[in-house]
């Protein structure tokens, strides 16, 4: 626990985050570029979906990070509520915007994929509806965090909201099992996949690349928030003189 509190020191965090941000960003961009190139040019079309299956290389990572982003908010909120780590609250707020963006991209790419596959842009089934709700929950969190910050709150209310919102994650995950839905079932598991490897392999590059890219954006936003807090504190001290 002592080591966690040491890492929660903003100065020590920034010393690690500055070089790590650059490494994560450029590694992520390189992996995304290679994965997209391989997915567009080095894999065969699907025997049922044809060329439209290639949107998988973007849709799956955005879905993973839309849900993973909220998992990060929930975990950071728990850490903040239990141990009052100052960086945990910053991390949760930093995750919210890119998490919302990836949730939106998941919905957009899913609609583009669904139009030729299902014959409709949108269907109010369990998976799509619960993912849309998650997007709105992201927007609610950002509004609540901003209001709490503006009124000088201690961050507990957004943190409680961050934990409560995690109830959507298992609903999204198991919606295709619990309800009859247009959305296909789980194609990729921890140990196996129903997708042929000749099509699947570029996905691991885009999945890893987008994850690293997401992490770099979160670190950038945390650094910006900490810099803004320091500047605000400095201006208050100058005004008090």
Going by C-alpha positions, the residue among 73, 227, 233, 224 that lies closest to residue 160 is 73
Q: Which residue has the higher pLDDT, 149 or 185?
A: 149
C-alpha 117: how far from chain center: 26
Which domain range does residue 175 map to?
Answer: 53-182
CA angle 38, 43, 45 (to 5 degrees): 135
Instruction: Please list, residue by residue across 64-102, b when 16 or more beta carbons sit within 10 angstroms of its beta carbon and e when fewer do.
Output: bbbbbbbebbbbbbbbbbeeebbbbbbbbbbbbbbbbbb
Mean pLDDT of the chain: 88
Whether 47 maps to a domain, the answer reads: no
What band does 234 get if pLDDT is binned at 50, 70 and 90? low
- Contact, 86 vs 93, CB < 8 A? no
d(CA 212, CA 51): 27
For the cut 80, the answer to whether the pLDDT of residue 192 exceeds it is no
Alpha-helical (H) ranges within the chain are 2-7, 10-41, 56-83, 86-118, 126-150, 156-164, 168-178, 197-240
Going by C-alpha positions, the residue among 99, 78, 101 that lies closest to residue 89 is 78
Rounded to two decimals, the pTM is 0.89
d(CA 192, CA 226): 42
List CB contacts of 153: < 8 A, sequence separation 6 or more.
Answer: 147
32-83: pLDDT as tens digits? 999 999 999 999 998 878 888 999 999 999 999 999 999 999 999 999 999 9
Whether 220 maps to a domain, the answer reads: no
Whether 8 maps to a domain, the answer reads: no
Number of domains in the chain: 1
Whether 202 maps to a domain, the answer reads: no
Whether 28 maps to a domain, the answer reads: no
d(CA 152, CA 150): 5
Whether 213 maps to a domain, the answer reads: no
d(CA 53, CA 112): 11
Question: What's residue 239's pLDDT?
Answer: 59
Least confident of 4-8, 17-21, 130-134, 210-214: 4-8
Whether 233 maps to a domain, the answer reads: no
d(CA 236, CA 132): 41
List CB contacts of 108: < 8 A, sequence separation 6 or more.
Answer: none
For the cut 90, the answer to whether the pLDDT of residue 166 exceeds it is yes
Question: What's residue 1's pLDDT?
Answer: 46
Whether 32 maps to a domain, the answer reads: no
């Amino acid at each position: 626990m002592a080591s966690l509190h040491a890492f929660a020191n903003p100065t020590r965090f920034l010393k690690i985050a500055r070089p790590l941000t650059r490494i994560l960003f450029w590694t992520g961009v390189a992996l995304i570029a290679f994965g997209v190139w391989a997915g567009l040019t080095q894999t065969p079309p699907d025997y049922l979906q044809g060329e439209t299956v290639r949107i998988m290389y973007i849709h799956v990572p955005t879905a993973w990070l839309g849900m993973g982003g909220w998992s990060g908010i929930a975990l950071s909120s728990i850490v903040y509520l239990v141990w009052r780590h100052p960086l945990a609250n910053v991390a949760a707020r930093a995750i919210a915007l890119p998490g919302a963006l990836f949730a939106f991209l998941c919905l957009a790419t899913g609609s583009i994929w669904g139009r030729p596959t299902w014959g409709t842009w949108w269907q109010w089934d369990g998976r799509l509806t619960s993912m849309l709700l998650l997007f709105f929950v992201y927007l609610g969190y950002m509004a609540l965090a901003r209001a709490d910050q503006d009124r000088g709150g201690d961050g507990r209310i957004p943190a409680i909201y961050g934990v409560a919102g995690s109830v959507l994650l298992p609903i999204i995950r198991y919606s295709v099992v619990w309800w009859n839905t247009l959305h296909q079932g789980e194609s990729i598991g921890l140990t196996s996949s129903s997708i042929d490897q000749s099509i699947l392999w570029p996905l691991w590059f885009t999945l890893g690349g987008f994850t690293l890219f997401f992490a770099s954006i979160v670190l950038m936003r945390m650094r910006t928030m900490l810099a803004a807090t320091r500047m605000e504190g400095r201006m208050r001290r100058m005004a008090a003189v």
